[in-house]
Structure formats: structure tokens, C-alpha cells
Amino acid sequence: MGRELKVSSIERGTVIDHIRAGNALKVVRILGIEGSGATVSIVMNVSSGTMGRKDILKVEDRTLSREEVDKIALVAPGATINIIEDFEVVEKHGVELPGEIGTILGCPNEGCVTNSGEPVSPRFTVVGREPVRLRCVYCEEETEDVEENLL
Amino acid sequence: MLPGRDIISMMDLSREGIEEVVDLAGELEDERSGRLEGKLVALLFYEPSTRTRLSFEAASKMLGAETISIDSKEASSMAKGETLADTVRVVEGYCDLIVLRHPAEGSARMAAEFSGVPLINAGDGSNEHPTQTLLDLYTIWKWRGGLDGLTVTVAGDLRYGRTVHSLARALALFEDVTLTTVSPDNLRLPEDLVGQLDGLEVREGDDLEGAVESAEVLYLTRIQRERFADPEEYRKVAGSYRVMPELLEGRDLVLMHPLPRVDEISPEVDDMPQGRYFEQSANGVAVRKALLSLLLEDGDG
Ligand SMILES: Nc1ncnc2c1ncn2[C@@H]1O[C@H](COP(=O)(O)OP(=O)(O)O)[C@@H](O)[C@H]1O
Ligand SMILES: [Zn+2]
């Protein structure tokens, strides 16, 4: 097919494709894989037929489970997850925003108990999907500003 | 029917849950008994509140429970040395139920997670005050025997007034309720909220006179001076939301107010049959008796 791989092939791992351009680092942060020891390569601003420009992320030697990746739908709703084994794509699926989001965002309400020095981490219920709308489980304030509130 | 062992937010309550509470409140309203004898209720008030605290204390004692409490002064000095989470873990060790008033939004939900005993939210900052909403619902229920088919006008500050938001959400759980709103332009019911009130017919009214024509209940909230940059504007607006006897004379309608009022209800209204705000406030004791009973009797089978 003569298609060129922008990053060297990996033998085993996970490739996250079709990330909205500019959001690859946010995906890395949401996945919390910086400190995991895994080799991560990021390709930014690749031209893509369907979405203009996109980012791609490759995580070597780690197969990310659905629960782990679904939360990236917050910043990369159209992403495709490709599981690679023996250099081949053996599984491919999209991402779907889960009903509850754990501690990857802070609560925008300054008066919220999660911002008051108490031993509690913010959690959110997804109350709208397009656009994404989250309600803090604690103070019940709702927000659509997902990216600004990423921790 | 109640959502587990805690009362944190009206958002957790179903129609059935609300009905269970108001039914039991009706049964217990005049009761003085030893029903909750041997139970110890801890009142943790991190903010001044006389009415809510007294009302919980009265409810506990009328049913034979004992209370221990810390007031806002003690609580704020304690808060300097210790997190709320730790205080809750200490107190739950020797009481059967905690009633919490705390300035941080979400504090009640968090405290309940740290507590092994049931917890009732008596106000978490500007977020929720479910026992206030339940007593509002009970007042209407008692007066007309149910909540289906109600026509209610809410007036005043509908934007920041959380009592009205909670009440509207709760009424949306009932059938054929019509909610008419009357407020200054800058204090309208938030659009987000209106979008979530499926099942409630929301109408915008022009003025109090028009809106009381068909309403069975007029629920008034205070308009605060701080919401207006121009004091003259405030005076004008506040004046047009003042309830005078002429507005209510001869109407089959009840006037409710979460209290404290300032001057939005003329004192002459107090003695009219339509003025029900003191009765409404007293109904808080019955509702709190019901909640204490539901939460404390549960474990005993
Ligand atoms: N062995 C591999 N190592 C690294 N990346 C790979 C490997 N195989 C496929 N990819 C990448 O995974 C994504 C999905 O691959 P593929 O299913 O072949 O293409 P597409 O989804 O574009 O039809 C693409 O970005 C591709 O470059
Ligand atoms: Zn919050």
C-alpha cells in the first residue's frame, strides 16, 4: 500500500489514532502514562484525509484496556484505538465517554470541597455528551470547559 | 425508597422518596414519643444557623433522641486544626447520626463518604439544603393534599436563590405542575436549569399581579441589594416585588417564603389566611422528625 509510517513500527502496544490535532499531550496526561516507564511516541499535525490534521500516539509494550482509554474521549472524541501485536493491528475500536469521570479534572468551583484542602479528589458525572457537560459529584456545579480544567 | 442512608441532595430523591418523607412527616407532626430513645444525634454547624439547628434539635428531642452539638464558633476554631473529614471520622465513632452545615459546596457528600453513620445535609454552602426543599414540599402537600396538578408562581431572585432551584427540580418529578416565574431581568431562572426541568411547564410571567391570578402557591424569595450596581435600580425593583395585602385579598392562594424576610412581605400579610411562611417554617420540625426516623430506625429492622 506504500503507506508511510510516521513513527517506526512497534511490535506490541497501542496506537491511538485520529486525535484532534494539538491534543496528544492532553491524552498522554489523561492516560497518566508519563511516569509509567512505557516508551511513548507522539506525532503531531499529521495530515489526515478525514480530519484535516491529527495527532497520533504510540505506546509500546502496553495494551490499554477500554476503561483506561475511554476517558480520553473528553479531549479526543473521534480517536481510534489500535492494539498491535507482532507488528499487526489485531484489534481496533473507537472511544466512548464513560458515565463517570475520575480525577483527571479539577472542579472549576473554587468553593467546592475538592478545592478546600480536604482529603477528597474530584469526580464528575457526565450529564451531556455533545457538547460534553460534566457535573461535579460533590458540589453539583456543571461545566463544559473540560480542557481548561484538566489537572 | 430513600437513596441509601444519607440525605445529601434533592437530586438523589425520587418522587417515591419525597412521598415517603411527606407522608411520615404528616404522621409524626404532633408526635412526642420515645421512638428514637437511646439515639444520639450530632449537630455539626460550621456556619451560623439558628432556625435549622433549633429545628433539628427540636425534632430529635420530640422523638426521644439526645443531641450533642458544636456551634459555628467552636467549629471554626476546630477547622483550623483539623479537616472536616477527620472530624467526621471522630464524631461518627460515638453518635448515631450526623447533621452537617458547612460552607464548602459538596462538603456533605464528602462527609457522608467518611461517615459510618447516616448523615443529613443541613446546607452545604450555596449548593443544597434538602430539608428546606422537603419542608416546602410538605407545606404545599399538607395544604392541598398532593403535588400533582399544582400551579405555582415563584418570584424574586430566581437566579441565585437555590431554594427555588431545588423546589423546581423536585416539582418536575410530579405530574402536570405549572411553574410561573416572575423576576427582574438580571435574576431570571438560569436557562441550564430550565432545560433540565422536563415534565414541568415553565411560563414566564410579567408581574406579581398577573402571576397570582391563577396560582395556588406564591413562593417569594428575597432580592438582595448586592445584585444591583445601581442602588436606585435596586429600590425600584425591590418595591415591585413587595407583597401587600391587596395582592392576596380574597384569593385562594398561599404565600410562602423561606425566611428570613426583610421587607418583601408587608407585616399586615402575616395575619391573613394566605400568609403561611411561619407555618412553613414550623413544618420543618415535622419533616426533620420524619427524616430522623427513616434514617435511624432503618438499621433496627
Ligand atoms: N506495527 C505498528 N507500529 C506502529 N504503528 C502502527 C503499526 N501498525 C499500524 N500502526 C498505526 O496504527 C494506526 C492504524 O493502522 P491501520 O489500521 O493500518 O490504519 P487505518 O486505521 O488508518 O486504516 C495508523 O496510525 C498506523 O500508522
Ligand atoms: Zn465541585
Domain CATH number, residue B91: 3.40.50.1370
Whether B28 shows a pLDDT value over 90: the answer reads yes
Residue A141: name the closest of A114, A121, A103 by CA.
A114
E strand segments, chain A: 13-20, 40-48, 52-60, 80-85, 88-94, 100-101, 124-129, 132-136, 142-143
Residue B2, in any domain of the structure: no
Instruction: Determine the distance separating the centroid of ligand 1 and the alpha carbon of A41, expressed in angstroms.
Output: 13
User: Grid coordinates in use for A97?
Assistant: 465517554
* β-sheet bridge partners, residue A143: A134
Residue B265, in any domain of the structure: yes
The string of pLDDT tens digits covering residues B94-116 is 999 999 999 999 999 999 999 99
Residue B3, in any domain of the structure: no
**Ligand 1: does its nearest atom lie under 6 Å from the Cβ of A51?**
no
**Ligand 1: does its nearest atom lie under 6 Å from the Cβ of A132?**
no
CA dist., res. B169 & res. B84, Å (int) = 29
What dihedral do alpha carbons B74, B75, B80, B85 form, nearest 10°? 150
Residue B5, in any domain of the structure: no
Q: Are residues B113 and B195 in the same domain?
A: no
Whether B301 shows a pLDDT value over 60: the answer reads no
Q: Are residues B80 and B165 in the same domain?
A: no
Choose among A111, A140, A142: nearest Cβ to B104.
A111
Whether B300 shows a pLDDT value over 50: the answer reads no
The predicted model scores a pTM of: 0.88
User: Grid coordinates in use for A76?
Assistant: 479526543
**ipTM tops 0.95:** no
How far does A88 lie from chain B, in Å, by closest CA?
46
Cβ contact A118–B85 (<8 Å): yes
Q: Are residues B146 and B159 in the same domain?
A: yes
Under the banding of pLDDT at 50, 70 and 90, the label for residue B1 is low
Choose among A116, A119, A140: nearest Cβ to B104.
A116
Q: Are residues B139 and B212 in the same domain?
A: yes
Contact predicate A55/A14, CB 8 Å = no
Residue B144, in any domain of the structure: yes
Residue B213, in any domain of the structure: yes
Strands B119-124 and B66-70, bridge-based pairing: unpaired
Tally: H helices and E strands in chain B: 12, 9
DSSP string of B246-274, one letter each residue: HHHTT---EEE--S--SSSB-GGGGGSTT
Q: Is B199 helix (H, G, I), strand (E, B) or coil?
A: coil
The string of pLDDT tens digits covering residues B63-99 is 999 999 988 888 877 777 899 999 999 999 999 999 9
> Exposed, middle or buried by CB within 10 Å (0-12, 13-18, 19+), for A122?
buried
N-terminal to C-terminal alpha carbon distance within chain A: 41
Q: How many domains does chain B have?
A: 2
**Ligand 1: does its nearest atom lie under 6 Å from the Cβ of A39?**
no
Residue linked to cell 424574586: B156
- Most confident of the ranges A67-81, A137-151, B30-44, B221-235: B30-44
CB count within 10 Å of CB B296 equals: 23
Residue B76, in any domain of the structure: yes
pLDDT at A4: 57
Q: Are residues B51 and B176 in the same domain?
A: no
Strands A52-60 and B119-124, bridge-based pairing: unpaired
CA dist., res. B254 & res. B218, Å (int) = 6
Q: Are residues B266 and B151 in the same domain?
A: yes
Q: Are residues B121 and B251 in the same domain?
A: no
Cβ contact B104–A112 (<8 Å): yes
Domain that holds residue B265: 130-280
| Chain B residues lying within 8 Å of A138, measured CB to CB | 105-107, 109-110
Q: Are residues B149 and B203 in the same domain?
A: yes
The string of pLDDT tens digits covering residues A11-65 is 999 999 999 999 999 999 899 888 888 899 999 999 988 888 999 999 999 999 8
Q: Are residues B243 and B153 in the same domain?
A: yes
Greater confidence (B292 vs A146) lies with B292
Share of chain B above pLDDT 70, in %: 98
Whether A148 shows a pLDDT value over 90: the answer reads no
pLDDT at A68: 86
Q: Are residues B207 and B143 in the same domain?
A: yes
Residue B301, in any domain of the structure: no
Mean pLDDT of B136-155: 96
Q: Are residues B170 and B224 in the same domain?
A: yes
Whether B2 shows a pLDDT value over 60: the answer reads yes
Mean pLDDT of B278-298: 94
Q: Are residues B265 and B159 in the same domain?
A: yes
Whether A126 shows a pLDDT value over 90: the answer reads yes
How far does B156 lie from chain A, in Å, by closest CA?
22
